């Protein structure tokens, strides 16, 4: 959109305008782009200033990623954690730019991520909880390797998570997602976890549930 920002993005300004609007920042999945999640922006609350960001790593022949995935790695380490950490920091900077350049409420920044975007949403919120209010983490998991050092010392008292996963997800095993709630519980973070009988995607029932959850919290 403009070189003044760390990430290319598209926006939907709130229909119910106020001086400082709550933000919903959308983070898409691996191989997708900023138009993907933005497709349901009009179904979301009209008070929200919705921003859909494009991940920084271009893929061939099309699409973008928040970090590379090495499918052929034999040691089981297939995520490029260094790139993921760099994206985590880029998203943090982007949030600061949003606050500076758009008429938004800095105390009401909310994340919605799918798959790789969900993994980054966990990483940003757990590393910088002072910047985030609510997180909707769809079809993702917590990668502890990309959390900020000493993250356990953070104050998580303002954070709230809605987490969901498909019970027959063929891309990210549901067993990985089932570890999210115990992890967040251990940190004393408010959270809810739901499963739906789908693969790597968002069921209509899932969308209605997350929308209802968000309306009550913004």
Sole residue written with tokens 């380490």: 77
pLDDT of residue 75: 59
Instruction: Report yes or no: 123 and 100 within 8 Å, Cβ to Cβ.
Output: no
How confident is the model over 21-44, as pLDDT tens digits? Answer: 999 999 999 999 999 999 989 999
pLDDT of residue 4: 85
pLDDT of residue 17: 83
Region of residue 150 (left: phi > 0; alpha: psi -120 to 50; beta: else): left
Evaluate whether the domain defined by 9-215 bears CATH number 3.40.50.1820.
yes
Peptide bond preceding 96 in cis form (omega within 30 of 0): no
CA 8/CA 5 separation, integer angstroms: 7
Q: Where are the domains of the chain?
A: 9-215
pTM: 0.95
Q: Which parts of the chain register pLDDT below 50?
A: 1-2
């Amino acid at each position: 959109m403009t070189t003044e920002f760390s990430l290319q993005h598209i926006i939907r300004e709130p229909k119910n305008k106020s001086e400082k609007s709550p933000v919903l920042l959308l983070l898409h999945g691996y191989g997708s782009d900023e138009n993907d999640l933005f497709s349901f922006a009009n179904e979301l609350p009209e008070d929200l200033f919705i921003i859909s960001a494009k991940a920084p790593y271009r893929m061939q022949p099309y699409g973008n990623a928040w970090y590379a995935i090495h499918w052929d790695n034999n040691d089981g380490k297939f995520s490029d954690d260094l790139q993921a950490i760099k994206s985590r920091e880029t998203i943090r900077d982007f949030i600061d730019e949003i606050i500076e350049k758009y008429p938004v409420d800095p105390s009401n920044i909310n994340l919605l991520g799918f798959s790789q975007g969900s993994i980054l949403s966990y990483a940003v919120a757990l590393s910088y909880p002072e910047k985030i209010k609510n997180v909707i983490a769809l079809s993702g998991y917590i990668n502890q390797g990309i959390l900020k050092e000493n993250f356990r010392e953070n104050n998580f008292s303002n954070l709230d998570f809605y987490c969901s996963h498909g019970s027959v997800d063929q891309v990210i095993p549901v067993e990985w997602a089932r570890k999210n709630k115990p992890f967040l519980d251990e940190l004393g973070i408010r959270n809810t976890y739901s499963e739906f009988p789908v693969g790597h995607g968002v069921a209509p029932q899932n969308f209605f549930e997350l929308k209802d959850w968000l309306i009550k919290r913004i």
